A and B are shown apart, each in its own frame.
Chain A
Amino acid sequence: MLPHENDRLGPHAVSVRGVGVILDRNQIIAGIDLDVATGEWLTIIGPNGAGKSTLLRTLGGLLPFAGDIELFGTPLGRMRRRDRARLVASVAQDPVVPPGMAVVDYVLLGRTPYIPVLAGESAVDRDAVAEVLVRLDLERFAGRRLESLSGGERQRVFLARALAQGANLLLLDEPTSALDIGHQQDVLELVDKLRRDGGLTVIATMHDLSIAGEYAQRMVLMAGGRVVAAGRPRDVLTQDMLALHYQARVRVIDGEQGPLVVPVRAGD
């Protein structure tokens, strides 16, 4: 069991006990215990194939699992799909961009859990979409086709759809992997602002460890389908830990916002 250093922040947004996932008879993740406090930003790191995305998709209710997962005190397995979608919003690693779809229609898809299956959207849904477009500075793109936008603009539209869901928990699977370094910072600043202003809880997977460490309040290091380290970024991002689990040669520098991980080539 992990240390519950964040208990003082309030009730848990996410509580995971002994969770395992088997896909095609392969055990992808096993024995996962995890607590995430409401309003917290937790980043999951780990080498390729560690099970980060699987854990994220499991938390989003998209995979069958063994064990117990509670979201805001309600067992995930007992939630109806629509209720879950009002509580948890996901941004996939490489979201599908429907050909020809306008930004405003794409963001409106986020209102799906509020719109009856065979009905159209209401004025409330349209207002919610308009509000999100303004909040993310996307109004001028409202009528543009999603595929005509740049990578950074698209990422904001993906976020907008997730925000339109009105969910309290935001799951981001490598939200910056397709972006240049400036846009990475833009997107993560935006998410952090939304988290602080709107009381969102954020769970993200990330590959860039320096940036990951700067934005996360807490980190989880996964390897081989298990959690191998958890804690503040400076406790997880250590040279020994990264050498052991990533087989990487790195130097860890103390930065203003968190440890900075610099890859170094092997010397003679």
Chain B
Amino acid sequence: MTVSLPRRSRAGAPPPSPERRASALDQREGRRAPGRLSLRWLLAGVLAVLIAGLAGLALGPVGLSPLGVARQLLDLVPGINIHSGLSTREAAIVTDLRLPRVCLGLLVGATLAMAGGTYQGLFRNPLADPYLLGVAAGAGMGATAAIAAAHGFGDAAVAGGLGTPVLVPLAAFVGALVAVALTYLLGATGGRYRTPAVLILAGVAVTSFFTAIQGYLQQRYAETIREVYTWIMGRLVTAGWHDVLLVLPFAVVTGAVMLAYRRQLDVMSVGDAEAESLGAHPRRTRLVLVIAASLGTAAAVSVSGLIGFVGIIVPHTVRLMAGSSYRVILPLSAMFGAAFLALADLGARTLTAPDEIPIGVVTAFFGAPFFIVILRTSRRL
């Protein structure tokens, strides 16, 4: 018996004409090129940084004219010499007090937002934030230990007499890196099942472990609780340019690495197996980016404390508004993260002046409702 089947022939279409090919190219070059950072969004990011920076410099207990502040900034550029119209005292407020603090906010915000976006891509997990692999717990334990040691032995006796302003960031930085290294050693090597999920679970375990030690230290040295708590809630310290210079090299180098790997994050969005079949090295990429993101985050939290929310809300807002490619998410996260944290710090020091609100409270209090609005109005969900 012979049965013949009807055959469809959609595949048998005539070969594409040159015009059709050109139209596909136009779509790539024009509006329908979602993977590329559009000039519009790039300008929006730069503008956000400029506005937030200027606002941070102009607003405060002493109100200054934004124009005068802008002139004062231009005057700082070598080769440009203009009179800002600010008094000597006002100029000093801008350059010595507010400028370092605004710069620190921009650097920390950019680093945390990029690290968060990087982790979300690396682990294909929208809940990932920069603290996923234990950075926060390690830094918290380090800072607590340093504060407790300063209380126990006297501030001048520890760290060769450098005191807590140097010791706490250093201990936080080392603690953060030890925690992430431990997470990576436990979760990514040696075992039989080397999947990203194991790394995340190892991060959970390490976080619990370091948090336990921190809890014990706080209990044992109860007089440190207030100081530790203040540190954990986050604060952009205003110790002049010292902290900025401390963070700057880490922020620049790790930021450059994360940006350079942004296309690889897109490749990894199809999972490790498919990424490998495309010729990529997902494990190598993950190692490089975990090191970069953790190093940047550790440097940031060591001077600013554990500022939450930036690393998760900023990349997601960018993703919802500008596109899901990491070629868009990472550069825009850096700019909007910087602007967001500079503005949050402005709120932290002006809303209840002369008292300061912890910046972590500001980021969450204003960030959470804003994020809900974005979530509910975005067409992309």
Give the complex CA separation of A98 and B20 in angstroms. Answer: 27
Which residues of A approach B to under 8 Å, CB–CB?
A: 24, 57, 60-62, 81-82, 84-86, 88-90, 92, 95-96, 98-102, 104-105, 108-110, 112-113, 115, 117-120, 126-127, 129-131, 133-135, 137, 139, 142-143, 165, 182, 185-186, 189-190, 192-193, 214, 253-257, 260
Partner of A143, one of B9, B13, B31, B260: B31
Partner of B3, one of A60, A86, A256: A256
Is B10 touching A102 in the complex (CB atoms < 8 A)?
no
Is A254 touching B2 in the complex (CB atoms < 8 A)?
yes
Is A90 touching B277 in the complex (CB atoms < 8 A)?
yes
Give the complex CA separation of A88 and B325 in angstroms. Answer: 26
A152 to chain B, nearest CB (A): 10
Is A143 touching B32 in the complex (CB atoms < 8 A)?
yes
Is A95 touching B11 in the complex (CB atoms < 8 A)?
no
B27 touches A (CB below 8 Å): yes
Question: Which B23-46 residues have C-beta < 8 A from chain A?
Answer: 23-25, 27-28, 31-35
B374 to chain A, nearest CB (A): 14
Is B277 touching A189 in the complex (CB atoms < 8 A)?
no
Of the candidate stretches B97-105, B224-232, B265-273, B291-299, the one touching chain A is: B265-273
Give the complex CA separation of A139 and B24 in angstroms. Answer: 6
B47 touches A (CB below 8 Å): no
Work out how many contacts link A and B, with CB atoms closer than 8 A. Answer: 142
B190 touches A (CB below 8 Å): no
The residues of B that contact A182 with a CB separation of less than 8 Å are 8
Is A113 touching B21 in the complex (CB atoms < 8 A)?
no
Give the complex CA separation of A58 and B35 in angstroms. Answer: 32
Is A86 touching B269 in the complex (CB atoms < 8 A)?
no
The residues of B that contact A109 with a CB separation of less than 8 Å are 266-267, 270, 278
Is A96 touching B269 in the complex (CB atoms < 8 A)?
yes
Q: Chain B, 160-203, contact with A by CB distance < 8 Å: what is the 0/1 string?
A: 00000000000000000000000000000000100000000000
Interface size on B, residues (CB 8 A): 50
A149 to chain B, nearest CB (A): 15
Give the complex CA separation of A137 and B15 in angstroms. Answer: 10
Which residues of B approach A to under 8 Å, CB–CB?
A: 1-5, 7-13, 16, 20-21, 23-25, 27-28, 31-35, 192, 260-261, 263-264, 266-267, 269-271, 273-281, 319, 323-325, 327, 380
The residues of B that contact A126 with a CB separation of less than 8 Å are 25, 28
Give the complex CA separation of A253 and B3 in angstroms. Answer: 8
The residues of B that contact A129 with a CB separation of less than 8 Å are 28
Give the complex CA separation of A185 and B11 in angstroms. Answer: 10
Is A256 touching B5 in the complex (CB atoms < 8 A)?
yes
The residues of B that contact A192 with a CB separation of less than 8 Å are 11
Partner of A256, one of B4, B24, B270, B276: B4
Give the complex CA separation of A109 and B265 in angstroms. Answer: 11
Considering the complex of A and B, which 3 residue pairs feature the smallest CB-CB distances, nearest first?
A100-B324, A85-B279, A143-B32
The residues of B that contact A120 with a CB separation of less than 8 Å are 263, 327
Is A104 touching B324 in the complex (CB atoms < 8 A)?
no
Q: A139-B24, A142-B32 are in contact. Are A115 and B263 (CB under 8 A)?
A: yes
Q: A142-B27, A185-B7 are in contact. Are A117 and B269 (CB under 8 A)?
A: no
Partner of B279, one of A81, A134, A186, A260: A81
Is A112 touching B28 in the complex (CB atoms < 8 A)?
no
Partner of A127, one of B25, B192, B261, B269: B25
Give the complex CA separation of A159 and B24 in angstroms. Answer: 17
Is A142 touching B28 in the complex (CB atoms < 8 A)?
yes
The residues of A that contact B192 with a CB separation of less than 8 Å are 24
Closest A residue to B193 using CB positions: A24
Closest A residue to B192 using CB positions: A24
Q: A24-B192, A101-B324 are in contact. Are A130 and B263 (CB under 8 A)?
A: no
The residues of B that contact A57 with a CB separation of less than 8 Å are 273
B22 to chain A, nearest CB (A): 9
Closest A residue to B26 using CB positions: A130
The residues of A that contact B3 with a CB separation of less than 8 Å are 253, 255-256, 260
Closest B residue to A100 using CB positions: B324
Give the complex CA separation of A82 and B275 in angstroms. Answer: 11
Q: A134-B24, A139-B20, A142-B28 are in contact. Are A189 and B269 (CB under 8 A)?
A: no
A196 to chain B, nearest CB (A): 10
Give the complex CA separation of A92 and B275 in angstroms. Answer: 11
